[in-house]
């Protein structure tokens, strides 16, 4: 039996936003939830169909594949046929979604109840600018982060003197309270402690019990050798602090490598334009180059090298991020033509031109 279009299953348009897709799945999950339809195999089948559609359309990469190639594009990838998947497995896969749908940590409707994952602070995104030399060698460098930081007075506890908060008496430290409506149990965030499970009874005077203050701080970030512009580094736990007793978010650093006056970068390769004289290009020479990270390399210019020729040196470029080898160094030979010539220089060039012309004549004959 052929599968229905996932957009048709959730009754959304093909340009629906992520929030629209989530709302549509919530509607379908509530309607066809097995605990609302005990013994109804058709409802269970529709519940699985909606869950399968949501698993694809809620993922940007999978959704793009489906938009371009339909069901055929997803075949063989695994995980896109929920017809034989158990209901418990679906609950497990989408536990965060069901937690949002049915309030706090319970799936509701007799499904498995789990306490929701601890709340955490927000992630922070900043830019980190380094030189090409730093990108080649690697460097530890501080970046500036402005926002909330743990209160120095109470060490982030929110309580005066740094004392630990007391357990919330309303939810007994669980962070959730449950209510029953008929045969259905609902779990919601505790309104007293707001889900933290703890209460600050004697708040710190500096932060008013929040456990954090707004300030500018410096975070030491490790830029590994081989890092490039457009890449992002993650520093765990250096984002915004969460509610009292919960972990902080992460810091994301968007890397920007400054342009270099002599060298350009293309992936793991380095490129340099090196001027040579007409005589050097004709007779051959060696070029001693110092790379931005201090390495010294030698490029051999063969006799008769033409303008625009490229000399490639393998293993002399940018180190790979995994530490396994380097890219190449490409040297573009630029033959310089003098703008002004002395009388003697002109005469010598004229003699050279005649000599070269005679060589061509003799060779032709």
- Contacts for 14 with CB less than 8 Å, ≥ 6 apart: 7, 67
Mean pLDDT, residues 184-204 = 77
Q: What is the CATH number of domain 124-159+209-257?
A: 2.60.260.20
The predicted-structure confidence for 230-289, as pLDDT tens digits, reads as follows: 999 999 989 887 766 678 889 999 999 999 999 999 999 999 999 999 899 999 999 999
Comparison of pLDDT for 162 and 308, the residue scoring more: 308
pLDDT of residue 94: 58
Could you tell me which CATH class the domain 6-85 is placed in?
mainly alpha
- The yes-or-no answer to whether 124-159+209-257 and 263-360 have a common fold is yes
Angle value at C-alpha 251, between 152 and 114, nearest 5 degrees: 90
Record the pTM. Answer: 0.52
The predicted-structure confidence for 14-43, as pLDDT tens digits, reads as follows: 999 988 999 999 899 888 887 778 888 898
The predicted-structure confidence for 48-66, as pLDDT tens digits, reads as follows: 899 888 988 988 888 888 8
Angle value at C-alpha 356, between 353 and 357, nearest 5 degrees: 85
Percentage of the chain beyond pLDDT 90 is: 39
pLDDT of residue 104: 41
Q: What is the DSSP string of 319-357?
A: BPTTSS-B--EEEEEEEE--S---HHHHHHHHHHHHHHH
The confidence band for 100, taking pLDDT boundaries of 50, 70 and 90, is: low
The sign of the CA dihedral 34, 35, 36, 38 is positive
Provide the residue ranges of all domains of the chain, joining segments of one domain with +.
6-85, 124-159+209-257, 263-360
Is domain 263-360 in CATH 2.60.260.20, yes or no?
A: yes
Q: Does residue 127 register a pLDDT over 50?
A: yes
pLDDT of residue 184: 53
Mean pLDDT, residues 138-160 = 84
Percentage of the chain beyond pLDDT 70 is: 82
pLDDT of residue 352: 86
φ and ψ at residue 287, rounded to 5 degrees? -115, 120
pLDDT of residue 173: 79
pLDDT of residue 129: 95
């Amino acid at each position: 039996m052929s599968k229905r279009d996932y957009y048709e299953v959730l009754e959304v348009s093909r340009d629906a936003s992520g929030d629209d897709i989530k709302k549509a799945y919530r509607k379908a999950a509530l309607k066809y939830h097995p605990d609302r339809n005990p013994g109804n195999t058709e409802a269970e089948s529709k519940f699985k169909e909606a869950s399968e559609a949501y698993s694809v359309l809620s993922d940007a990469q999978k959704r793009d594949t489906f938009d371009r190639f339909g069901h055929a594009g997803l075949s063989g990838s695994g995980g896109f046929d929920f017809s034989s998947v158990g209901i418990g497995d679906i609950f497990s896969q989408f536990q965060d979604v069901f937690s949002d749908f049915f309030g706090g940590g319970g799936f509701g409707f007799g499904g498995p109840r789990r306490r929701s994952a601890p709340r955490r602070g927000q992630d922070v995104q900043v830019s980190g600018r380094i030189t090409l030399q730093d990108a080649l060698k690697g460097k530890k460098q501080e970046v500036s982060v402005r926002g909330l930081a743990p209160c120095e007075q109470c060490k982030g506890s929110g309580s005066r003197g740094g004392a630990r908060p007391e357990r919330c008496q309303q939810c007994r430290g669980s962070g959730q309270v449950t209510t029953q409506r008929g045969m259905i149990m609902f779990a919601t965030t505790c309104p007293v402690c707001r889900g933290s499970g703890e209460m600050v009874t004697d708040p710190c005077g500096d932060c008013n019990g929040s456990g954090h203050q707004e300030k500018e701080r410096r975070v030491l970030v490790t830029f590994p050798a081989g890092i490039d512009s457009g890449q992002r580094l993650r520093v765990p736990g250096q984002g915004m602090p969460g509610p009292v007793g919960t972990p902080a978010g992460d810091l994301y650093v968007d890397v920007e490598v400054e342009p270099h006056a002599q060298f350009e970068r293309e992936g793991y390769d380095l490129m340099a334009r090196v001027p040579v004289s007409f005589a050097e290009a004709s007779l051959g020479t060696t070029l001693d180059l110092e790379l931005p990270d201090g390495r010294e390399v030698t490029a051999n210019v063969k006799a008769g090298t033409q303008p625009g020729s490229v000399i490639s040196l393998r293993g002399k470029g940018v180190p790979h991020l995994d530490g396994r080898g380097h890219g190449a160094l490409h040297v573009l030979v630029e033959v310089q033509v003098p703008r002004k010539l002395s009388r003697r220089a002109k005469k010598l060039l004229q003699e050279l031109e005649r000599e070269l012309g005679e060589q061509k004549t003799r060779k032709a004959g």
